[in-house]
Amino acid sequence: MKKWYLLLALSLLIALQVTAQELVTDRPDQTESATIVPQYHLQWEAGTQFDDDNTGSEWTLLTNLFRYGVSEKLELGLVTEIVSVPRRGFDSNKPGMTDIHIGLKYGLLSGPIEIAYMGHLIAPNGSRHTSSGSWGTINRINIAHDFSENISSSYNFGYELYDEGSNGSFIYTWAVGFALTEKLGFYTELFGAYEEFEYWTTNMSTGFAYLYKDNLQFDFSIGSGISERSNYYNLGFSWRIPY
């Protein structure tokens, strides 16, 4: 177990070109990138988030996304999350681990327009009071292109199912990123879902990403609901560990 913790210890959406292999992250927006992590590189993207909406408030103590480049077109991904209390829908007053996500991202098209498929399987292995208790899946098509040298745009659409008893939801995102300087980026975004294929939700977010080093980025973002009350505040970092 100690060796595993040591591995983790050694191991924002703004792409800033500062090296031959630029650091492109899935943080801090809700739009996942279409770029594959370079082969034999491990990328750790982590953050903490506070949510407040009509159902109450929740603090996600730590979200981890581990991305590993298997080839030029394929990366593997693992998502873990620790949430605090109160956890929506649960009576326990203890922090807990949510269900893990295991998945991949596969590059379908590269060039001026990038397209990738991203799929995750959600396993019901979280803590007793924070697990959904059922299997789930996330499927997205990620698209990205540049408007100019300093302005880029990314889109996601797909299907998400978190509870075997539900119909799932169609999801969509659209983010526009601006390179303000060589190291500082800004984005704004619209995202939402056709929940249970019954009603639409729409939200917006905005934030900054600062490239501290070629392989280390810090980010901050905030989000707010348009169709309903929903707010969040997020702070995190991304670190690429070379082979």
What is the count of structural domains for the chain?
A: 1
CATH of the domain at 98: 2.40.160.40
Tell me which residues of the chain have a pLDDT lower than 50.
1-20, 87
**Rounded CA separation 130/58 (Å):** 12
Total-model pTM: 0.86
| The pLDDT value given to residue 93 | 63
| The pLDDT value given to residue 76 | 98
Residue in 67, 48, 66 with CA at minimum distance from that of residue 58: 48
| The pLDDT value given to residue 96 | 87
| The pLDDT value given to residue 130 | 83
| The pLDDT value given to residue 54 | 80
| The pLDDT value given to residue 18 | 31
Residue 101's CB is within 10 A of a number of other CB atoms, namely 19
The boundaries of the domain holding residue 228 are 2-241
| The pLDDT value given to residue 10 | 33
**Rounded CA separation 94/101 (Å):** 22
**Rounded CA separation 165/33 (Å):** 30
SS3 5: helix
| The pLDDT value given to residue 8 | 34
